[in-house]
Amino acid sequence: MVILASEDVGNADPRALGVAVAAAHALELVGLPEAQLNLAQAAIYLARAPKSNASAKAIWEARRDVQATGNARPPAMLRSTGHSKAAKARGHGEGYLYPHEDPAGFELEYLPEELRGRRYYRPSGSGEEAGDDSEDG
């Protein structure tokens, strides 16, 4: 049920994972036969929850890209300057905008050069993902 909550329900109902984990914990605490009630409640919740595997597909696609491109370096703006002149001279930290202070920071491209333009998370439109058409990758 814990896997189903993330792989098949996902962000369509993010509470599903908590329900599944709570049922697993209840099983550990009280054991069977009493925990059958907790398990039944969780199973029904998960069965009735809206479904989305968008998060699962996103991580699987990202993993394929990492396998294909190798360990790509993050953009220079995300590399730590370590407050050293040498790191700054190599461009580390250059162009970084703190998104919470500058909303344009949310629009920057944070993927490595080899992966620029890729989008991994594509909301399903189901449940909590309904109406989520953000361009975030």
Domain boundaries, position 97: 72-129
**Using CA of residue 21, residue 25, residue 30, residue 32, what is the dihedral sign?**
positive
Q: What percent of the chain has pLDDT over 70?
A: 93
| 37 and 92 housed in the same domain | no
In 6-115, at which residue ranges do the beta strands (DSSP E only) sit?
A: none
Q: What percent of the chain has pLDDT over 90?
A: 59
Q: How confident is the model at residue 88 (pLDDT cuts 50, 70, 90)?
A: confident
**Confidence at residue 59, expressed as pLDDT on a 0 to 100 scale:** 96
- Where a domain ends, among 54, 71, 88? 71
| 60 and 106 housed in the same domain | no
The domain tally of the chain equals 2
Q: Answer yes or no: is pLDDT of 135 > 60.
A: no
Q: Answer yes or no: is pLDDT of 104 > 60.
A: yes
| 18 and 61 housed in the same domain | yes
| pTM, to two decimals | 0.75
| 79 and 108 housed in the same domain | yes
Residue 8 and residue 20: Cα distance in Å, rounded? Answer: 12
- Where a domain ends, among 71, 91, 120? 71
Residue 32 and residue 38: Cα distance in Å, rounded? Answer: 10
